[in-house]
Structures are given as C-alpha cells and as structure tokens.
Amino acid sequence: MKDDGTASEQQPALSPIQDEVSESPDAAFRDFRTPAHEMPPFGGLGVGVNATTPQLQTRASKRNMIFILLAIMVGGIVGMLLKHYEINTTAAKWIMTPGNLFVRAVQCVVVPMVFVNLVVATADIMYKGLGKSLSIRVVIILLLSIFAAIAQGILTGVVTHSLFRGYSDQETTSSTDVIFGIQCGNGKFLEANDDGAVTCSATSISGNSQFALDDVNDALVRNEALTGTNSSLSDNVIAVIDTFVPSNLMASFIDNTLLSIVAFALPLGVTLAASFHGPVHLNPLLEFFREVNETLVHMAHWILGFTPFAVLSLLAGSLATSLEDSVAEHPVILVLQLVATVGVSVLVHMLVVLPVFFVLFTRRNPFRFMRQMLPAYVYSLGCSSSMATMPMSLECIETSREVPSSVMHFVLSVGTVLHMPGVAIYLAVLLHFMADVAGVTGEESTTTMLVTFLGVFLCTLSAPPIPAGAFAVLAMAWNIVFPAYAIPDSVYALTLAADVFLDRFVTLCNVNAQAMLCRVLADQVNETHHQHATATQR
C-alpha cells in the first residue's frame, strides 16, 4: 500500500470543475473503498476518482439509450395491440407488475440515496466555503425557472381558452353542495311548483326537481379527491409550510415525503461540517455517509440494468387501459389536443426558455450540454419519474466533466425534489383546461390568475417526483383555485386517461431543468472560486 505522498504524486491534479466528492485522501479510509481498477456494475455509474473512463461511460449510456428506445417502441406497439383486442384490467395489471416492482425498487433505493447524497454534498460545500453563495444562487435560479414555467403555463391556458371552451357542458358544472333528486313511487320526481307546492310530477331531474342536502350530523363522507373542499388558501399554505419541518423523520421516509427529508438533510450536512474541528478526511461520520452513498449508488445502478424490461412492461400495460369507457362522453380529439398543448408548452420551455436562461448565466451553448443528457431524457420518457431518473442523470452529468462533484450531488438532490417546472406547466394548463371543459367561469379574472399562480407554486413544491406525481396534486390545486366547484367525473376521467402521455412530457421537462440548473450553478461556482483566488493573491 502506497503512502499518501506517493499516491498524490501519481494522480493528476484535478481542476476546480472536476473536484472529488467521495474519495478520502486518508489511507485508512481508502482501504474500505472499491479499488480504482474495478469497474462498477454494468459498466458504470462512477463516483469521484473511482469513476470509469468517459469513453466507457459514453458507450454504456448509448447502449442503454438504444435498448430503452427499443423498449418504448415495442411497448407502444404491444400496448396498442392489447387495447385493440380489449384486454381486461386484471391482465393489464399483471403485465404492469414487473414495471411496478421496478419503480418500487428504485424508490426504495433513491429516497435514502437522496438523503445521504445531500448530507455529504452539503458538508463538502460547507468545508469549501461555498455554502452561502451556492445556496443563494440555487434559490434565485430555481425560483426564476419555476416562476417562468408557471407564467408560461397560465399563458398557454389563456391562449387555448377558446379551443377548449367549445367542449364545455354547462350541466357538468357542479358546486360542492350536495345536490340530489327524489324519485316517487310513480316513477316521476319531486318538483317544486311556482305556488310553493311539491308534487311528484317531473319526468326528469331539472332545476325545479333538484334539492340541496344539509348534513347537520355529518353522517355522510365527502370524496375530497373529486370535489372541492372549501378549504381556504391560508390552510393550504400552512400545510405546505408544515412539510418543511417534519415531526417524525422515519414517517417521512415511510411516506416518501422528500420535501421533509431534504429539509432535514440540509441542516444535518451543515452541522456535520461545523461540529468536527479536525481535517475533513478524518471526520468519521462524514466518511460513513460517503460509504453509504457509494453503496446506494451501486445498488441503484444494478436496478437500472432492468430499465428496458420495466419500460416495456409499464408502457404496454398503461396504454392497454389508458382510455376507459367513461371518457367516451368527450371526443378522442380532445385528448389529443390536450396532450399536444402540454407537449408543445413543455418543449418550448425546454428548447427556448431554459436555453435563454442558460446563455444569460453562462454565455455558453446550452444544446451542447443537452446533447450529453440524451440517455437521461430517453430514460425519463420510459419511467415517468425524475426521482428514478436521478442515478442516470448523475451518470450523464459526471460523464460531461463540466460540473464539480459536490455541486452536482447537492444541486441534483435539491432539484429533484423542488425544481419541477414541468409540473408547474402541467398544473397551470390543466387547471384552465378543466375549468373550460367543466364550464367554470371567471378563471381569467385578475384575482383568479393570482390565486392560480400561488396555488400552482405551492402544489409544485409539494408534488412527489414519482410516476403520476403531478396528477396526485392536481385535485389540491383545483381546490385552491376553485374551492366552490367540484371536478366533474367525466373531466377527471378524461384527465386521468391523458396523464399516461402527459406525465412523460412532465418528467422529461423536469429532468432537463434539473440538469441545466447543475450546469448553470457549476459556472457560477467556478467564478466564485476565481474571485476568491484573486482576492487571496492580492
């Protein structure tokens, strides 16, 4: 075993943009690490100086991308065939079982990986004196990106107002009050006459034969997933704020509440760096977290080896049951128009809005960096989860050699949870879409626009980075903006059917935005290093 002096002489000097995050210079700790000559599983996901060569990583990424593209094509064809032959729901669930197991395995590994990854990255950043400057830049750029996405989504909803308003059915609009009709023994319905008398004379339920129910004893249970809750905006704001301070960390892990996990990991990393006064490479707790992080990264990469099979399973099963009979009330063209609207808006954000921000902050070509993220983009289309795509994004960003390891792990861990502009566009567009189709009026007023902006922002922060995560908070966003109206069942089913395709656009946008955020902040950190070095020399 070589001593520290010999090892440091043989290793090339790393530039500030290629600093290490997981390799300790202390020989006692290096004995427990994967040897440098040993490749990670599946040609792999390297970490720090133990990473494989860029050529091997590039070949592995291209091979995985080809397999995933083939799986998407085969899964789409199989799903359409199964839909054509009207496969039953039970068979579709069995087809999706391998894919669902894959997603569960990824979530099981990635959630603790986000925690330890963020703890280690935060401690490394604090040791380098970049904590304050990087944190401020992360918050500013992240908010700018999300605000731009919300504004773009609202603008898209306003532009397409006339398109979707043509499908509105005023009878589908319903308030949150319980409305019912009473059928008499003669087959007719109770009806209130002009003189105030109530008779069994109505042949169908109309305005005069509808009655409101006042549940004075709270004997009925309301389905809040499909109806408004009449909860105030203040209640929803407080609920999101409460998530930032978890009362039980283990419960947050059980519920996959990443916002609470990140809120705990950040101060833990800061405390971990501040509480140890010796050399950084002798901090035993930090080294423990490094080893756990490397272990979880290897586990995640092993799981990713099954990605093509999972993509085929999920896509075939979801397409086989995507359009249910309840959607037959609306033409299929409406689903296609909704998918096209969200897809175009997402692509504009990816190819126009974010590149403009990228050029303004870095003065570099954004598409050169985006080209290196292609494997992660393809993977995100298959799995529909930015959290599951995180290991692949780490691999692509590390292969680019343009982002320091500490910045990459810190920003990507935070960005996976908080930086989801795709969700913001999705929520803003679908709120306008559902309001137009349901016949809700007043969504274009200034007050409603402001409430929509705030509601979409809060729901974007609380959305889980998992498959159908945006759809999971859609009802919450509706209840914030339109608390007096229920979501019609037909509109809800229509949105659920379209979400099979929309969720993939949302995930693609999120993964791209998180990677671009890493690259922009890497350039900012490099400038900070340069300014600090210049000031030191003076």
**3-class DSSP state for residue 59?**
helix
Question: Would you list the DSSP string of 319-353?
Answer: HHTSS-GGGGGS-HHHHHHHHHHHHHHHHHIIIII
pTM above 0.75, yes or no: no
- pLDDT for the residue numbered 282: 76
Contacts of 466 (CB under 8 A, 6+ apart): 103, 107, 256, 385, 387, 388
Q: Is 19:406 a contact under the CB 8 Å cutoff?
A: yes
- HEC string of 182-251? CECCCCCEEEECCCCCEEEEECCCCHHHCEEECCCCCCCCCCCCCCCCCCCHHHHHHHHHHHCCCCCHHH
For the chain, state the CA radius of gyration: 26
Please report where in the chains the tokens 């795509």 appear, as a residue: 389
Which residue, among 485, 506, 474, has the nearest Cα to 443 in the 3D structure? Answer: 485
C-alpha 390/C-alpha 111 separation (Å) is 10
C-alpha 33/C-alpha 50 separation (Å) is 9
Q: Is 167:332 a contact under the CB 8 Å cutoff?
A: no
- pLDDT for the residue numbered 254: 84
Alpha carbon 35 to its chain's center: 35
| Run of H or E residues at 178 | strand 178-180
C-alpha 138/C-alpha 142 separation (Å) is 6
C-alpha 469/C-alpha 507 separation (Å) is 9
Which residue, among 481, 357, 482, has the nearest Cα to 419 in the 3D structure? Answer: 357
Q: Which two tokens stand for residue 496?
A: 């659920």
How do the pLDDT tens digits run along the chain, 538 residues long? 444 444 444 434 434 444 444 444 443 333 333 333 333 333 333 333 344 444 544 555 566 667 777 887 888 788 888 877 777 778 888 888 888 888 788 878 888 888 888 888 888 888 777 777 788 888 888 899 999 999 999 999 989 888 887 666 544 444 445 556 677 766 777 777 777 677 777 776 665 666 666 666 666 655 544 444 455 667 777 877 888 888 888 888 887 777 888 889 888 988 888 887 777 667 888 889 888 988 887 888 788 778 788 878 877 877 776 554 444 445 578 888 889 999 999 999 999 999 999 999 888 899 999 998 988 898 888 778 888 888 888 888 988 888 888 888 888 888 888 899 999 999 999 999 888 888 776 666 788 888 889 889 988 988 888 788 888 888 888 888 887 777 777 777 778 778 878 888 999 999 999 999 999 988 877 655 444 444 444 4
C-alpha 240/C-alpha 248 separation (Å) is 16
Beta strands 189-192 and 485-486, pairing class? unpaired
Which residue, among 405, 515, 348, 312, has the nearest Cα to 120 in the 3D structure? Answer: 405
C-alpha 180/C-alpha 524 separation (Å) is 61
Q: The dihedral of CA 495, 497, 498, 501: what is its sign?
A: positive
C-alpha 378/C-alpha 392 separation (Å) is 10
Q: Is 156:341 a contact under the CB 8 Å cutoff?
A: yes
DSSP 8-state class, residue 282:
G
Structural domains in the chain, CATH included, are 43-171+231-537 (1.10.3860.10), 177-213 (no CATH)
As to burial, measured by CB atoms within 10 angstroms (0-12 exposed, 13-18 middle, 19+ buried), residue 310 is buried
- Residue 344: how many other CB atoms lie within 10 Å: 13
* Angle value at C-alpha 394, between 243 and 421, nearest 5 degrees: 50
Q: Is 525:211 a contact under the CB 8 Å cutoff?
A: no
Contacts of 105 (CB under 8 A, 6+ apart): 303
Q: Which two tokens stand for residue 150?
A: 């919300």
As to burial, measured by CB atoms within 10 angstroms (0-12 exposed, 13-18 middle, 19+ buried), residue 351 is middle
C-alpha 512/C-alpha 519 separation (Å) is 11
**3-class DSSP state for residue 401?**
coil
C-alpha 433/C-alpha 439 separation (Å) is 10
C-alpha 74/C-alpha 99 separation (Å) is 14
Q: Angle at which helices 489-537 and 131-159 pack, to 10 degrees?
A: 150
Question: Would you list the DSSP string of 384-443?
Answer: --HHHHHHHHHHHHHHHT-S-HHHHHHHHHHHHHH--HHHHHHHHHHHHHHHHHHT---T
Say how many residues make up the chain: 538
DSSP 8-state class, residue 487:
P
Amino acid at 201: S
Beta strands 485-486 and 211-213, pairing class? unpaired
Give exposure, 90-107, as e/b (b: 16+ Cβ within 10 Å). Answer: eebeebbeebeebbebbb
